[in-house]
Structure 1
Amino acid sequence: MGSRHRSREAALKILYQADLLSEDDIGQIAGDLWKERGSPNADRAFTDELVKGVMGRREEIDAKLGAAMENWEPARLGYMERAILRIGGYELLFCSDAPDNVVIDEAIELAKSYCDPKSEGFINGVLDRMMKDKDL
Structure 2
Amino acid sequence: MTGPNKSRRKMREIVFSAIYQFDFTEDVETSSAYLERELSFFAMDMEMKLMTRKYFENILRRREEIDGIIRKHLMNWTFDRLASTDRNVLRLGTYEIVYESAVPIEVTLNEAIDIAKKYGSEQGGKFVNGVLDRIARECAPVAKKDL
Q: Report the equivalent of 1:4.
A: 8
Q: Report the equivalent of 1:124.
A: 129
Q: Report the equivalent of 1:103.
A: 108
| 2:77 equivalent to 1:63 | no
Distance of 1:11 and 1:78 partners within structure 2: 17
Q: Matched residue pairs, number?
A: 135
**For each residue in 1:82-130, what CA deviation from the matched residue of structure 2 results, as whole angstroms up to 9, or x when unmatched?**
1110010001111101111111111011112111111011000000000
Q: Aligned pair in 2 of structure 1 residues 50, 74: CA closer, same or farther (>3 Å)?
A: farther
Distance of 1:67 and 1:45 partners within structure 2: 31
Cα displacement (A) at 1:22: 3.2
Q: Report the equivalent of 2:25.
A: 21
AA of the residue aligned to 2:20: Y
**For each residue in 1:61-93, what CA deviation from the matched residue of structure 2 results, as whole angstroms up to 9, or x when unmatched?**
111101110243333212211111001000111
- Is the deviation greater in 120-129 or in 39-48? 39-48
Q: Normalising by structure 2, what TM-score?
A: 0.83
**For each residue in 1:27-84, what CA deviation from the matched residue of structure 2 results, as whole angstroms up to 9, or x when unmatched?**
2111221233353323211211211111111111111101110243333212211111
Q: Report the equivalent of 2:42.
A: 37
Distance of 1:77 and 1:31 partners within structure 2: 27
Distance of 1:74 and 1:33 partners within structure 2: 28
| 2:78 equivalent to 1:73 | yes
Which consecutive residues of structure 2, in runs of 5 or more, have no partner in the other structure? 141-147
1:80-95 paired onto structure 2 within 5 Å:
80-95=85-100
Structure with bigger RCO (C-alpha 8 Å, 6+ apart): 1
CA contact (8 A) 2:18 2:32 kept: no
Q: Report the equivalent of 1:51.
A: 56
Q: Normalising by structure 1, what TM-score?
A: 0.90
AA of the residue aligned to 2:111: E
Percentage of pairs with the same residue: 30
Q: Aligned pair in 2 of structure 1 residues 86, 44: CA closer, same or farther (>3 Å)?
A: same
